[in-house]
Every structure is written in C-alpha cells, then in structure tokens.
Structure 1
C-alpha cells in the first residue's frame, strides 16, 4: 500500500514541477507537495533512503538497526524500480509525467516520495489504507506532550483531528507516532521515520560514529 501511495505522490510531484506556459498548478496537490522536504541539498530529511551505500556499511553495520535497514532498503529499491519504469515509459504510459524529464530526475522524485511516505504517512486500519494528512504533518512525536489526537469518521471517511487539552495560538502540536519500547524501539524510529526520539542536539550519524547505546546497546 505504501508503494502505491508513493507512486501516486511521485507522479503528482513531477507534474507539480512542470512549467506549462503559465497555466498554473497542474497537480491539485501542488500546494501540499510544496510543503514536503525536497531532494535539494540542505532540505533532505535525515532518512536512510538518502544515504549512500558506503555510509550504511560504515555506520550502521553491526548496529541494532542494520538488518532491518537493509530489508527496508531492498524492498524500497525494488518498488522504486517498478515505479520509475512506469513513469519513464511514455509509449506505454504517455500521460504519466510531463515531457522532457530525465530518468535521473524522475528517480530522485520517486525517492523523495518514499521518504515522505515513510516519515509522514499514517495507517488507517478501518479503511485498510495508508494516508497522508497535511494537518498532522505539523505534529511532532512526543509521547510526554501529546495535545492532539486523530480519528477517521467511519461514515464520511474524513480525518478528524481533535485537541485533547487547550492548545494556545502558536503552540506546537504533538502526537505519539508509536509507543517507544512497545511498538517501536528508539533505533527503529530512525529506520522508518528518519529521527531518534528525544535526540535534538546531535545527528544520527554522530550517534552511530560514537557507537551510542541507542544503536549498539548489546555492545555497551
């Protein structure tokens, strides 16, 4: 399901970059897509999908997250290859992408789409689907400071976000993405979401270089 949503997002993202003689936004999702972290230097999220293979081998090998990271990357690379093939086959899929895009650019956008899906999507168990919810993009993970919750209206399919206490103007929104230590270990947050809960003063790369116990607990 995530691959299907990533493929749709990549297609819309490519159309949102198109300049079609001042016709305005081609994709109805263009405004939302402009909010997403792009592939440009300095704006990439610290996600495994942006890492070079050499970095993964040098930094992650031997850590708690190494095997899981390889499995995620292998499955993603395969799904990406299928999507890229569809988006770069104008004879079979003439309307898939705007004309004149290079394969490398399409591949980069597909990768960015998967990063967005892994780091920003939510699972709707009632609808048995994966969804992107723009409002929840603003909510950070912090189980100690949760101030909003969300649900899906079973009748309309609308996503309803509610404050669970008073939220003042300008106050940051917080959710619990997953229970730490129960649903996901701390190192697994990095594998899937691209961050480590509670770590704000250093990078994941530095944690790995220093053999931090979050990733090397069995070795400490």
Structure 2
C-alpha cells in the first residue's frame, strides 16, 4: 500500500511537471511569434527608410538642377548686359571720334572758344571712363556669381554625402538589430528542443510508473 501511494504521488508530480513544461513551451512559442513580428516590423522600417532616403536624394537633385538653371539665367542676363554696354561704348566711340576731330579743328581755328572745347573734351573723357568702370563692375559681378555657383554646388555635395552617411548608419543599426533578433530566435529554439526532450523523458517515466502500478 505504501508503495502504491508513493507511486501515485510520483505520478502526480510527473503530471505537474508535464503541465509546467507544456506551459513553458507555450510561452516560448509566444516569444518566438513576438520576435518574428518584430523582425517583420524592422524589415518594414528598413524599406520605409530606404524609400525616404531615395525621395530625399531626388529632391536634392531637383533643387540642384533648379539652382543651376537660375544661375545660368543670371549669367546669360549679365552677358547680355555686357554686350549691350560694349555696343554702346562702340557707338559712343564711333560718334565721338568725329566730334573729337571737329573739336580739335575748332580748337585750332577758334582760339577764343578754347576753354569751352577743353571742358567738352574733359566731359567726353569722363563718360568714357564711366563706361569702362561699368564694364569692370559687370565683370566683377560675373566672377562673384560664378564663385557663388561653385559654393552652392559644394554645399549640395556635402549635404548629399551627409545624407548618405546617415543612411548607412541607419542601415547598419537595423542590421545589428536583425542579427540580435536572429540570435534570440536561435536560443529560443534550442530551449524548445531541450524542453521537448524533458517532456519525452517525463513521459517515459510516467509510463514506467504506470507499468509498475499495474
């Protein structure tokens, strides 16, 4: 009788152990499912980040193109202004050369109007100097615009490089997270296998005890 009671107690303990192992298996399965869901979410986040980065790169390229077009239009306008000023200078020179010759003749012929003619000559020379100064200023503006264009291009290239570096860092972080999750999955699978083996052993013990009772 005592042996039978002990065997019954052992059977009850085995049953409890089996139930506990089953609960542990269920919990591990739930953890595995949660990890799989996390992996899927991380993959979706990776895809979204890649799409956002591609969109940012496209927007930056469009901005670059727009800036280049604007700068080219400004350069064309300045070139047109320079050409117009050169044409005006040439016309003034063509008009002033005969006038200068006439003034020289009048100076030779009319000594009384000497001072007036000198003043006119000085005014003409001043006009020529002003036109030359305007041409120089326009050339300086062209050079400044070219320098600004180069600086803008350099800044945009730096921004693109920074964005690419950020993208690479994000991708590396996500890959590390994926690797960690995969390692956790492997560990959980190993635990599941061990628990299954324990279940099998307990079942065998349970069967042996039943046979002994019988």
What TM bracket, shorter-length normalisation? under 0.3
Q: Report the structure, 1 or 2, having the larger helix content.
A: 2
TM-score (norm: length of structure 1): 0.23
Larger Rg: 2
User: TM-score if structure 2 supplies the norm length?
Assistant: 0.23
Greater fraction strand: 1
